[in-house]
Structure formats: structure tokens, C-alpha cells
Structure 1
Amino acid sequence: MALANALSRKAGTATTSRPVPFTSRVCVAARARVAVASPCVSRQPQQIVCQAAAVEVADKPAKVHPSPLSIAPPATYAIVEIGGTQMFVEPGKWYTCNRLKADVGSKIQFGRVLALKHDGKLTVGKPYLGNVNVEAEIIEELRGPKVIVYKMRPKKHYRRKQGHRQELSKFMVTKIEAQ
């Protein structure tokens, strides 16, 4: 600490008196190894060690993410049950789900609608809404990423390795209508 204080006085900078962890830096002009106090987690600029290394390094400003409360929900959306799972769907967006028994390019309707928001009014079913249809079009049939299933019993020379890829359907919601 004494060496760092002496060098900082020569360089015209001040050091803090709070205890911080030390790292070792090499000053290019002086060709000497100098102990510099640097906090582990800090958003402050680094301290200047000597005149040759007198470059102020400022961190990038922190990213500001919008609050989930400030993001407005879409005007129309529905919560639909597809293959035993519930999905939040909006018109004009595409989604993937487990393989549906329909051809690519065909139109399908989801009748199990749990909730609907339309014109600022939220309607919740008990358990389903009977007068709401969600229409979609099958865009593509695809397969998910490979998952490795590995079974092993220690000391018994039993090993089984098997891969699995889930078959999926991609669909685009074309229309949500309440009758």
C-alpha cells in the first residue's frame, strides 16, 4: 500500500483508505511491478498508477431494461390449451408445440380457450370459453434439439445410450374471434 501511495502522490492522484483487494499491474514506462488497489465489483473508473499510464478507463454505462409493468400487453390475446399445455397466443405471431395431426398449410381451430382479452375486456372461462375460436395455419413440421438418454448401473456393466428428438409443429395464429 505504501508503494501505491508513493506512486500515486508522484502521479498526482489520491488513493482510497478503504480495504480493497489488490491486483498486480505492470507500468510500461517504469518497467516496474506495482500493486494497485482495485475493487472486485465496481462501476467506477480505474485508478491512474503513473503519468505514463494516465489514461482514464471508464466502464460502459449500465443497460437500462424496461420494467415488465411498463411493457403494454397486446390489445387482443388468448390463452389456449394445446396438447395438454397452455399457451399465450396473439394474432400474427408464430408458435411451436408438440406435433399436431394436421398437414402443412392446413387451417386449424383451437376450441379450448381458457381466457380472452378483446377490446380491453378480459373474459375467463370455467374452465373453457364456449364462444371463442382461435384460428391458425400450420407453417412447418420440425424436430427439436437432440436429447441424450443415458442409463447406467455401476459395477454391473450395464450402459444404454439413446438419443431423442421431439417432433414439433410450427403454427401461425391468423385470427382470434369471439362470437
Structure 2
Amino acid sequence: MLVVWKTGGVRFSGHKKMYVTKEMSSKVVYAIVKAGGRQEKVSVGDVVVVDKLAAEVGDTVDFKPVMVVDGDQVTSDAADLEKIKVTAEVLEQTKGPKIRILKFKNKTGYTRRMGHRAKLTQVKITKIA
């Protein structure tokens, strides 16, 4: 049983749990942007990790939106999307986790170890306009 309260949290009713959610406003604004060969769902204030961008810490970068949702209005037309841009601020240049690769050939003694760390950029979305 789902009960909506303004406070949020979980309420217990006898032996059954009653999950309580906060009321959401009908004005939800988010965008799907293309960043580094992938698509990310972002809204204002989100911190997103994308593939490395050629920008310094503190710089602002613009992403090209693929789709924008503004409340009940969904924009996915290419002509309308050219007018919209998603602005973000570069917070940090980091590296991803180490990925270890091991090649092995049986009976020949051939073994090769390699490793890789992807270069990443952490950005904070500041504006969708």
C-alpha cells in the first residue's frame, strides 16, 4: 500500500510496511545530453562523470542535448534542440578504476599483463536553457 505524505519516510501499520514518498512537483526539468560517446540524463545541480574533456578545472563547457523534458513538454526535434544548450562547470579531472588485463597461452609459457585507467572529467550542470 503506497501512501503519499508531505514529510516522506516509512510508516509502519501493524505488520505491513507503508512506504511514504514526497510529493513531486509537476515541473520536472531534465535533459539527455551526448557526452563522450554516451548519453547522460542530467538536471540542474547534478554532478556527472564523463569521458575526459579538453577543459581546465573551473571552465564552463556546453553539451548538445538529444532530448529535453520541461514538465509535460518533451522536445526532441533537431531544429528546436539547436536553440537549447546545457552548460556545465568542470569540477575535477580524475581517473577511473584500474582495469587489469591478463593474456595467457597454455603450454607455451606466454603470459602478458596489462592495465588501464580511463581518464574522466567530473562536471556540475549549472544551466539548461
- TM above 0.5, yes or no, is yes
Residue 85 of structure 1: aligned partner: 38
**Which structure 2 residue ranges, 5 or more long, are not aligned?**
1-14
**CA 176–71 in structure 1, closer or farther in 2 if over 3 Å, else same:** same
Match for residue 147 of structure 1 among 95, 99, 122: 99
Residue 28 of structure 1: aligned partner: none
CA RMSD of aligned residues (A): 2.7
Residue 174 of structure 1: aligned partner: 126
User: Given that residues 104 and 138 in structure 1 are in contact (C-alpha distance below 8 angstroms), is that contact kept between their aligned partners in structure 2?
Assistant: yes
**CA 170–73 in structure 1, closer or farther in 2 if over 3 Å, else same:** farther
User: Given that residues 115 and 128 in structure 1 are in contact (C-alpha distance below 8 angstroms), is that contact kept between their aligned partners in structure 2?
Assistant: no
**Which structure 1 residue ranges, 5 or more long, are not aligned?**
1-60
Residue 116 of structure 1: aligned partner: 68
Identity of aligned residues (%): 31
Match for residue 104 of structure 1 among 50, 57, 63: 57
User: Given that residues 114 and 127 in structure 1 are in contact (C-alpha distance below 8 angstroms), is that contact kept between their aligned partners in structure 2?
Assistant: no
Distance 1:63 1:173 in 2: 37
Task: Tell which has more relative contact order, 1 or 2 (C-alpha 8 A, sep 6+).
Answer: 2
How does the TM-score come out when normalised to structure 1? 0.56
For 1:37-76, list aligned pairs within 5 A: 75-76=28-29
User: Given that residues 100 and 169 in structure 1 are in contact (C-alpha distance below 8 angstroms), is that contact kept between their aligned partners in structure 2?
Assistant: yes
Count matched residues: 114
Distance 2:19 2:108 in 1: 53
- AA aligned to 1:101 is A
